[in-house]
Amino acid sequence: MYKAITLIILSTMLVIQLSGCAQLQQQPVEQISDALTPGIFLDETRALIPEGVELREVYPPGIELTKVSEGFRSKLYNDAAGFCTIGYGHLIKKARCDGTEKPEFKSGITEQQGETLLIEDMDWAKYSVMQAVSVELTEGQYAALVDFVFNVGSGNFNKSTLLKKVNAQQHAEVPAQFRRWIRAGGKVWQGLVTRREREIDLYLEGTAIPRLLPQAGEELPDIDIRKGESSN
């Protein structure tokens, strides 16, 4: 009798635990409508970084810029494109979260884990800036450009007037070029407007570069970060 009762109790507890796990797994994943997929994950030109390449690291203010701009979320979420994401914009897959994600993601991550993922994710942006820019950059300039590439993708950066201005060392004209990249999906996003200003502040940090305004008659149309400059 004692064994039978014990077995019934244990069986009941197991059912309750399994039911709780099922409910946990079935909880809907939040959709974040203003969280844009980082451009580097959408980059058709993205490839493996050649073995032996030593990447220039981004200094702490640059890491903070990207962290603040991306925002941290400890739990899985679907971004504006409906892609499964976590942490500081770390793309898990180009599809909605469906419960097939790795256990460490399903249980959530810490901010430290999120930062580690972010720094790894930024490697392609670092490499892209190092490959595309032919002039010496300050720590702030490098960090600002890495954040920019992380956001818009290396393909868009490589074809941009912004890059041409940097390589021509026309640094006073760079802020106006940053400010053009504020659209996504055909509309202006306040988050992109704010991000561009942060990048400008970092780019000009510690320099005497003036913030030149566009010359009279000069047209600088807004650019969609998903289409790039050549499509405008």
> Is 173 labeled as catalytic in the residue annotation?
no
Q: For residue 33, what are the contacts with CB-CB under 8 A and spacing of at least 6?
A: 80
Place of tokens 């950066």: 157
Return the structure tokens found at 225: 């970060």
Neighbours of 44 (CB within 10 A): 8
What is the DSSP code string of 120-173? HHTHHHHHHHHHH--S---HHHHHHHHHHHHHH-HHHHHT-HHHHHHHTT-GGG
Place of tokens 């510690």: 206
Is 142 in a helix, a strand, or coil? Answer: helix
**Amino acid code (one letter) for 184:** A
> Is 136 labeled as catalytic in the residue annotation?
no
Catalytic pick among 43, 79, 199, 229: 79
Catalytic pick among 43, 51, 70, 201: 70
Positions annotated as catalytic residues are 70, 79
